[in-house]
């Protein structure tokens, strides 16, 4: 946990912002937290609303263990305490899209408490953010105010959808820190496979508690809460605006009013939604329909055993064992699908090195006694770098151009690995490989098929290359003379002409060497 004073001074001279986030991550369970209805997004209104979701008289909630397991996985990932007994409580308030007149949440005894998450900032610093708690709760339905002219419509498809509310301590000191933390949580929940992270559909959204205090003070200022912001950019803008607003107010002698504010994306400002005097008394009490939720050691062990390698551990391994630069490792680990794709590519490209790397990442396993030679290591590092370049370069560009995600990649990791291998083996040049990749993406087959079909196998035969060069030198005597008089820039001219004649299939290193040799004669 960062100490308030250890943070560098923010651009807000003389003031320190204090921010805590409440992140709502929708758990991607197939059914709702307390009913068997589907959680699928985008269905016709009220078609995914069961008797329980509509809160018909006599209906009862039954907890969904799948949602509980996902909460446990989150808790393990942030090194938190998992409550052996946690309690569902009712949060009572009236709203038309809240069918029971209360929301089932957790209050005094949440499933997850006292975790922390290490967050890397853009400026290179790392902060350790204390996560006070993460609790299970059900979502409300939706009020549709513009579906009908003179009435509000209610859609209960979302009612009862499982949410994990992740509450940070007020330890963030700038909008940038808050957003970096939010991104880390976003990466983590998707990495764990517990939330799809879709912010447009509201699967990942956040409330921000913001206050400011005089630098050096350890007393918290009056805070405001900004509700329901669902993009990283808006969170940053909203917090930034709110910090400025509070500082301006305090500097002009006004007091901050404790209130809930809404972020208006169109005008990039926040405005009051309701004040403290309108604050609900939620009358929390343990839900008598639900016995305490019991988590056994065995439940936790099952969850632990199926935990994936976490992004930070994987990033560290890429740097330490695969020799990847920090920036590559960070980019690859920005989401699990990309990282998994890289893993699979590398495993095909360098099976032994990949196996050694993953087993070394598990300290309890003793690696095979034979130390790898420095040469092997260098080769493995080179292959890792090549794989990283391809995943972050050509593949990322192709995905970007087709606006698709890596799960929908047209090229499988093993096929990409084969392509990279052909470059390594000198069968094709790196430049030709890009064309081959494009053809693979277009569905023309695997690398070998395309190389064969298009006749792209590069020419490494000295005789063939020599004949082409000889013909070339005969055709351009003036340029040849010029070169021999010291204009060495003309080398590129001859390389270009030779490549043109050889349809780009010449082995570039060989071509260069041979040309130099013949030009020098």
Partner 1 sequence: MSTPSAEGIAHWARALRAREISAVELTERALAAALAQQGLNALISRVDESARAAAAGADAVLAAGAESALCGIPLVHKDIFCTNAIRTTCGSRMLGEFVPPYDAAVVERLAGAHAVTIGKANMDEFAMGSSNENSHFGPARNPWDLTRVPGGSSGGSAAAVAAGIVPFATGTDTGGSIRQPAAFCGITGLKPTYGRVSRWGMIAFASSLDCGGVLARSAEDCAHVLGAIAGHDARDATSMQRPVEDYLRGLTAPVAGLRIGVAREYFGAGVEDGVGAAVHEALAALKAKGATLVDISLSHADLAIPAYYVIAPAEASSNLARYDGVRYGYRCADPQSLDDLYTRSRAEGFGAEVKRRILIGTYALSAGYYDAYYLRAQRVRRLIANDFAEAFKQVDLIAGPTAPTVAFKLGEKASDPLAMYAADVNTVAVNLAGLPAISIPAGFSNGLPVGLQLIAPAFAEARLLSAAHQFQQHTDWHLRMPGTGA
Note the residues at the interface with partner 1 (CB under 8 A). Answer: 51, 54-63, 90, 92, 94, 96, 99-102, 154, 281, 283-285, 287-291
Q: Give me the least distance between CB of 54 and partner 1, in Å please.
A: 6
CA distance 17 to 176: 11
- Give yes or no for a contact between 86 and 293, defined as CB atoms under 8 angstroms apart: yes
Q: Give me the least distance between CB of 103 and partner 1, in Å please.
A: 11
Q: Cβ atoms within 10 A of the Cβ of 193, count?
A: 13
Q: Give me the least distance between CB of 56 and partner 1, in Å please.
A: 7
CA distance 67 to 71: 6
Segment (H or E) for 303: helix 297-305
- CB-nearer residue toward partner 1: 93 or 125: 93
3-state class (DSSP) for residue 266: coil
Query: Token digits for 115?
Result: 């975790």
- Give yes or no for a contact between 59 and 104, defined as CB atoms under 8 angstroms apart: no
By CB neighbour count within 10 A (0-12 exposed, 13-18 middle, 19+ buried), where does 16 fall? buried
- CB-nearer residue toward partner 1: 285 or 493: 285
Q: Cβ atoms within 10 A of the Cβ of 512, count?
A: 16
- Give yes or no for a contact between 224 and 255, defined as CB atoms under 8 angstroms apart: no
- CB-nearer residue toward partner 1: 63 or 508: 63
CA distance 121 to 142: 35
- CB-nearer residue toward partner 1: 41 or 284: 284
* Counts of helices then strands in the chain (DSSP H, E): 17, 16
Q: Give me the least distance between CB of 442 and partner 1, in Å please.
A: 52
- CB-nearer residue toward partner 1: 56 or 513: 56
- CB-nearer residue toward partner 1: 35 or 338: 35
Residue 211 bridge partners (DSSP) = 18
- Give yes or no for a contact between 53 and 160, defined as CB atoms under 8 angstroms apart: yes
- Give yes or no for a contact between 4 and 173, defined as CB atoms under 8 angstroms apart: yes
C-alpha to C-alpha distances, 423 to 347, 349, 418, 503, nearest whole angstrom: 17, 12, 9, 17
- CB-nearer residue toward partner 1: 90 or 422: 90
- Give yes or no for a contact between 330 and 315, defined as CB atoms under 8 angstroms apart: yes
Q: Give me the least distance between CB of 277 and partner 1, in Å please.
A: 14
Q: Give me the least distance between CB of 453 and partner 1, in Å please.
A: 59
- CB-nearer residue toward partner 1: 154 or 423: 154
Query: Token digits for 340?
Result: 């998994």
- CB-nearer residue toward partner 1: 55 or 247: 55
Residue identified by tokens 């808790």 is: 75
- CB-nearer residue toward partner 1: 47 or 405: 47
- CB-nearer residue toward partner 1: 132 or 287: 287
Handedness of CA 66, 72, 77, 78 (dihedral sign): positive
Q: Return the closest-CA partner of residue 244 out of 21, 13, 3.
A: 13
- CB-nearer residue toward partner 1: 54 or 447: 54
Q: Give me the least distance between CB of 208 and partner 1, in Å please.
A: 24
Q: Give me the least distance between CB of 35 and partner 1, in Å please.
A: 10
C-alpha to C-alpha distances, 492 to 2, 30, 434, nearest whole angstrom: 56, 61, 21
282 backbone dihedrals φ, ψ, rounded to 5°: -75, -10
DSSP state for residue 394 in the 8-state scheme:
I
Q: Give me the least distance between CB of 446 and partner 1, in Å please.
A: 50
Q: Give me the least distance between CB of 156 and partner 1, in Å please.
A: 8
Q: Give me the least distance between CB of 107 and partner 1, in Å please.
A: 11
3-state class (DSSP) for residue 412: coil
Q: Give me the least distance between CB of 396 and partner 1, in Å please.
A: 47
CA distance 134 to 115: 9
CA distance 77 to 166: 13
Q: Give me the least distance between CB of 85 and partner 1, in Å please.
A: 15
- CB-nearer residue toward partner 1: 96 or 496: 96
């Amino acid at each position: 946990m960062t100490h308030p004073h250890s943070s560098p001074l923010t651009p807000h001279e003389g003031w320190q912002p204090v921010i805590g986030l409440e992140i709502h991550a929708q758990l991607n369970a197939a059914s709702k937290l307390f009913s068997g209805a589907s959680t699928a997004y985008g269905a016709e209104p009220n078609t995914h609303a069961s008797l329980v979701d509509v809160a018909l008289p006599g209906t009862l909630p039954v907890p969904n263990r799948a949602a509980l397991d996902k909460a446990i996985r989150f808790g393990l990932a942030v090194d938190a305490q998992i409550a052996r007994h946690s309690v569902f409580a009712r949060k009572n308030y009236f709203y038309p899209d809240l069918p029971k007149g209360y929301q089932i949440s957790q209050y005094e005894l949440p499933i997850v408490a006292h975790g922390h998450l290490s967050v890397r900032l853009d400026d290179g610093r790392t902060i350790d953010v204390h996560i006070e708690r993460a609790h299970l709760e059900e979502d409300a339905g939706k009020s549709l105010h513009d579906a009908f002219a003179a009435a509000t419509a209610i859609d209960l498809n979302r009612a009862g959808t499982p949410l994990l509310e992740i509450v940070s301590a007020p330890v963030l000191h700038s909008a940038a820190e808050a957003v970096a933390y939010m991104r880390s949580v976003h990466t983590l929940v998707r990495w764990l496979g517990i939330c799809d992270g879709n912010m447009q559909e509201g699967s990942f959204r956040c409330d921000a508690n913001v206050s400011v205090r005089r630098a050096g003070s350890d007393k918290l200022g009056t805070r405001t809460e900004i509700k329901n912001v669902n993009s990283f950019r808006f969170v940053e803008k909203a917090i930034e605006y709110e910090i400025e607003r509070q500082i301006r107010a305090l500097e002009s002698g006004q007091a901050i009013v404790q209130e809930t504010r809404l972020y208006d994306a169109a005008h990039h400002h926040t405005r009051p939604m309701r004040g403290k005097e309108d604050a609900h008394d939620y009358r929390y009490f343990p839900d008598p329909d639900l016995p305490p939720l019991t988590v056994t050691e065995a439940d936790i062990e099952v969850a632990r055993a199926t935990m994936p390698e976490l992004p930070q551990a994987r990033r560290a391994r890429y740097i330490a064992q695969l020799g990847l630069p920090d920036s590559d490792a960070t980019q690859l680990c920005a989401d699990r699908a990309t990282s998994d794709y890289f893993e699979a590519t590398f495993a095909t490209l360098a099976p032994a090195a990949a196996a050694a790397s993953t087993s070394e990442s598990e300290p309890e396993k003793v690696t095979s006694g034979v130390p790898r030679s420095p040469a092997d290591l260098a080769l493995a590092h080179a292959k890792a770098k090549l794989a990283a370049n391809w995943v972050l370069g050509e593949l990322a560009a192709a995905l970007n151009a087709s606006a698709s995600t890596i799960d929908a990649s047209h090229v499988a990791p093993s096929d990409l690995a084969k392509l990279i291998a052909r470059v390594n083996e000198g069968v094709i040049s790196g430049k030709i490989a890009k064309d081959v990749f494009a053809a693979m993406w277009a569905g023309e087959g695997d690398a070998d098929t395309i190389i064969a079909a298009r006749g792209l196998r590069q020419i490494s035969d000295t005789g063939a290359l020599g004949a082409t060069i000889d013909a070339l030198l005969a055709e351009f005597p003036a340029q040849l003379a010029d070169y021999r008089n010291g204009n060495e820039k003309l080398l590129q001219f001859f390389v270009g002409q030779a490549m043109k004649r050889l349809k780009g299939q010449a082995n570039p290193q060989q071509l260069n060497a041979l040309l130099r040799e013949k030009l020098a004669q």
